[in-house]
Amino acid sequence: MKKLLFLLLSGSLIFSCGSDNANSQKISQSTYNIVTFLDGGTMEKEPFINACMTSIVQGKNKDMYKNGGLDLCNCFLDKLTERYTLSEFKEIDRAVRERTESLEKTAYNYYKNPNFLQAIEECMEDPINFNADVKMEISSKEMLDLHILQCKDALKSALPFTEYNELLEYVYIDEYCACYMQKMTNEFTIKEMDNLEQRDNLIKLEKIQEDCILDNLR
């Protein structure tokens, strides 16, 4: 859950730098402002990092990032260079810039990519990047719509087919999922989201589920 929230929140950060700063020649990795991709292609790091940090400062969830987002932006770019060639990175950059869907939807689609998911997981596991005692905010209707989709996907995976269809007969599922996602992010900090199986957190989560079902019965 936290991984998806993070990706949707930071979708505007992912490819902030332009490919004009990229080239295909090898440059010594000792140069601090240069990153090297799998194929040896290189790119200036600073434009990406600056744009990434600017997006963080302008966002509603800026308090969740430590050091103004500097460590997170560096981590994410470094993880991407370990997984992509320069040409692959430039193609993703182009696709994001020429997208016809919302940035949140684009970010959600990349969440399904195992390379992105693993990169995000590794950066999120490092406490240097996040303030774990703050709460995240679903800051747009587009983001909420995607969380509703994710909620429904999770229910379909967790319930037998007949039980899911029975749930649809008695509950307005979109409204339930909107209620559930909003209440959960309002209730739990980042640290608590990583420990939902703890008794106190589990009791709160079950109460949220119950309340949202009762509030959205057909």
174 and 211 both lie in a single domain: yes
| Cα gap 124→75, rounded to integer Å | 9
Among 29-38, 157-166, 188-197, whose mean pLDDT is lowest? 29-38
Report residue 29's pLDDT band, with 50, 70 and 90 as the boundaries. very low
169 and 120 both lie in a single domain: no
Report residue 9's pLDDT band, with 50, 70 and 90 as the boundaries. low
99 and 6 both lie in a single domain: yes
pLDDT digit string (tens) for 111-129? Answer: 677 887 788 778 878 888 8
Assess if residue 130 is contained within a domain.
no
Express as a percent the part of the chain with pLDDT over 90.
31
Report residue 12's pLDDT band, with 50, 70 and 90 as the boundaries. very low
Assess if residue 132 is contained within a domain.
no
192: how many CB neighbours lie within 10 A of its CB?
19
What's the whole-model pTM score? 0.70
Assess if residue 8 is contained within a domain.
yes
Total structural domains in the chain?
A: 2
Concatenate the DSSP letters of all residues of 61-117 into one string. Answer: TGGGBGGGGHHHHHHHHHHHHTT--HHHHHHHHHHHHT-SS-HHHHHHHHHTSHHHH
**Statement: residue 61 has pLDDT above 90:** no
Q: Which structure tokens are listed for 4?
A: 């998806």
What's the rounded mean pLDDT across residues 189-213?
90
| Cα gap 89→43, rounded to integer Å | 10
Q: Range of 167's domain?
A: 141-215
